Amino acid sequence: MSQELGRVVFSRDRYARSWSLGDRGNPLVKTPILIQLRGDPELEDFLAPFKSFTDDKIPATLSVESKLNLSPPDFAVNAPNWETSIGHVLPPSLEEADAGELAGIGPLLPVSWQRLSHDESLVDPDLKPAIVVLVDAAQLAAQPERLVKAIHVLKSRFPGALLWAPGIGGPDNAAVLCWFGVDIFDLSRSRMCSSAGAILSTSGPRMPVESMGESSDMSVQIEQWKQSLASIKSHLSSGNLRSLVDKQSLNSPKLVEHLRVHDKLCTGQDGLLSSHVDKEKQLDCSSNSSLSDPVIGEWYEFISHNYRAPEGLDKVLILLPCSARKPYRFSKSHGRFIRAINNNSCHEVMVTSPLGLVPRDLEEVWPASHYDIPVTGDWTSDEVLRTQNTLLSLLQRHEYKLVINHSSMKLTTGDVKLIETRDGMSAGKHEALENLSDAVKEALVEFEVPNRRNNKSLMDTFASVARKQMKNDTWLKGVSIRGKPPFWRLELNNKQIALWSIDRRGFSFSKAAITILHDNKSLSKMELKSGLKWKGDIFYSNIESFDGDIKAGNDILVYQEGLPVGLARAVAPAWEWPTTGGRLAKSHQRL
């Protein structure tokens, strides 16, 4: 009986992942998948590569068998098969009771809410299961918060394992459950609907339409599953699963509740969110639930509490509307605003939903450069309150003398003088632009604001980006800027240490930067195992330790025996690093 399961992460988006199963060079299956239970119709291998059986004993024994050869090292002949005791599973309401009969430990790991509360063997660092089964998922789903909390704990504790939550998945909620971290689903709900003469569709249970020739046969149920899983895999691969999740959560009030709980658990969690994303990725903010998205929450917290305006730029604050095109300055509307302002010594900040405020010096970084939202000109009370609070916090932490409001949102500025330039007009109307231009000219004279040189403006922007994406901006001391837009070179003592990457929306460091970044403690770090000869990329097998705040996309300083030896770029966030198979960081520079 083979115990190993070959698996590496194919694509990821926060807790959602698509695993490649089998030989990493030629995988046979990609999750999310179904698992075939006793009584199910025969399912295709790519859809359901595993079978599962539970006997009638007390306590019951759970078996999982692979239909494909997915075990290393010889993938031509080895198919993983596991068997384990489920133990006595008490109702979640009896969490303080100890059932006494422990469930099995090993590559197939059954876990219940009661076991999470009592079984200390689950914290054994040598426990690295291939599949974790949340055996009381159906009971937990009916209770507030518990299902989401249990999944959250299991994914954080066993990042290298596939997760199965029996009995709760369907084509109507699989995207949401996958977003939480579930990888394996079953046909239990589909079989129940089929028996009741209903179709469990991608939008929820419904009766067949006889005039359309529909039936509730299992073949129809399975086709709904195929559509759902294909959509999840497509959105996950493109990095836009959250947009599908927001839509699917509306299938039931319970899903909305689960998603809100999940967002709260993820908000503020180190090493979960990405620092950089592919240039094609879009953050869909069409849904009201986007306001609770941890990405939005992280931005709001940073601007409200940690953002620092470029030095000397906090005299005149200009609030401008956003634009559909990103970065904003490339839009026609912002071209008109920039010409009307005709000075780069005022601090331009965009008013936008759902981010609230976006300073011009951060308009190129994630998520400010990647979000998409319908523009109606109307603001919800939540959007106004969030933006108002952020603005007041910004004013309290700086020395602004004047706020010029050219946005459409009515805002108050406390003791700081406020000038409105639109008076109900559209932002691009000639008269409104003249009002903006006149207000800026008068402010420049009144507050004796000098014009910034272009290089100073560029350096201010790079320093802001460094403070947002890195530990600090002190590594920029003494650095000069060379080149032409958008390919700027950052040099120290005539030696290139970094490039500004328009595709990455961040810095690409050279080997010469390693010592500088080390001296300034500007990056998160990881330590390689002592005596290991570093070749290729970073895998969990060659890691001694790592910082818990590493995000996907981060540049990381690589150390060995306490000394910096190179740079790597994280492809996985820190929560995955302890046991997840596959590449965790890509080698970037080596001394």
Domain identity same for 157 and 46 = yes
Minimum mean pLDDT among 76-80, 174-178, 560-564: which range? 76-80
Q: Is residue 156 part of a domain?
A: yes
Position 98 confidence tier, pLDDT thresholds 50, 70, 90:
low
Residue indicated by tokens 């069409």: 286
Q: Which residues share a beta bridge with 417? A: 402
Domain identity same for 254 and 302 = no
State pLDDT tens for residues 430-474. 999 999 999 999 999 999 888 888 889 999 999 999 999 999 999
- Report whether 380 contacts 289 (CB < 8 A): no
Closest of 516, 510, 511, 566 to residue 538, by C-alpha: 566
Largest CA distance in the chain: 86
Distance CA 196, CA 480 (A): 72
State pLDDT tens for residues 236-267. 998 889 999 999 999 999 999 999 999 999 98
Cis peptide before 327 (omega within 30 of 0): yes
Closest of 124, 33, 100 to residue 70, by C-alpha: 33
Q: What is the mean pLDDT of residues 105-110?
A: 92
- Torsions phi, psi of 569, nearest 5? -120, 120
pLDDT at 51 over 90: yes
- Torsions phi, psi of 219, nearest 5? -60, -35
- Report whether 131 contacts 181 (CB < 8 A): no
Q: Is residue 503 part of a domain?
A: no
Q: What is the mean pLDDT of residues 173-192?
A: 97
3-state secondary structure at position 253: helix
Q: Is residue 496 part of a domain?
A: no
pTM for the model: 0.89
Q: Is residue 277 part of a domain?
A: no
Strands (E), 195-284: 199-201, 204-206, 283-284
Q: Is residue 173 part of a domain?
A: yes
Q: Is residue 430 part of a domain?
A: yes
- Report whether 522 contacts 479 (CB < 8 A): no
Position 373 confidence tier, pLDDT thresholds 50, 70, 90:
confident
The structural domain count of the chain equals: 2
Where a domain ends, among 229, 247, 266? 266
Q: Is residue 170 part of a domain?
A: yes
Distance CA 445, CA 270 (A): 45
Domain identity same for 116 and 40 = yes
- Report whether 21 contacts 70 (CB < 8 A): yes
Domain identity same for 20 and 135 = yes
Domain identity same for 134 and 243 = yes
Distance CA 350, CA 323 (A): 9
State pLDDT tens for residues 381-413. 888 898 999 999 999 999 999 999 999 899 999
Where a domain ends, among 446, 466, 484? 446
- Report whether 522 contacts 472 (CB < 8 A): yes
| DSSP-assigned letters across all residues of 458-513 | HHHHHHHHHHHHSS-SGGGTT-EEEEETTEEEEEETTEEEEEEETTTTEEEE-TTH
Closest of 377, 373, 369, 442 to residue 407, by C-alpha: 377
Where a domain ends, among 446, 477, 496? 446
Percentage with pLDDT > 90 across the chain? 66
Tokens for 417, please give them. 């003088």
**For the chain, what is the radius of gyration of the CA atoms?**
27
Tokens for 335, please give them. 């071209």
Position 95 confidence tier, pLDDT thresholds 50, 70, 90:
low
Domain identity same for 118 and 233 = yes
Domain identity same for 156 and 41 = yes
Domain identity same for 46 and 184 = yes
Q: What is the mean pLDDT of residues 107-114?
A: 92
| pLDDT confidence of residue 100 | 59
- Which CATH number goes with the domain that contains 376? 3.40.50.10630
Tokens for 473, please give them. 């901006």
Domain identity same for 360 and 248 = no
Distance CA 100, CA 90 (A): 10
Burial (0-12, 13-18, 19+ Cβ within 10 Å), 484: exposed
Domain identity same for 146 and 258 = yes
Mean pLDDT estimate for the chain: 90
Domain identity same for 229 and 298 = no
Distance CA 486, CA 78 (A): 52
Residue indicated by tokens 């974790």: 132
Minimum mean pLDDT among 69-78, 133-142, 299-308: which range? 69-78
Q: Is residue 96 part of a domain?
A: yes
Tally of CB atoms within 10 A around 82: 23
Between the alpha carbon of residue 110 and those of residues 3, 49, 73, the distances in Å are 15, 19, 26
Distance CA 571, CA 583 (A): 7
Domain identity same for 367 and 260 = no
**Structural domain span for residue 223:** 7-266
Cis peptide before 354 (omega within 30 of 0): yes
pLDDT at 271 over 90: no
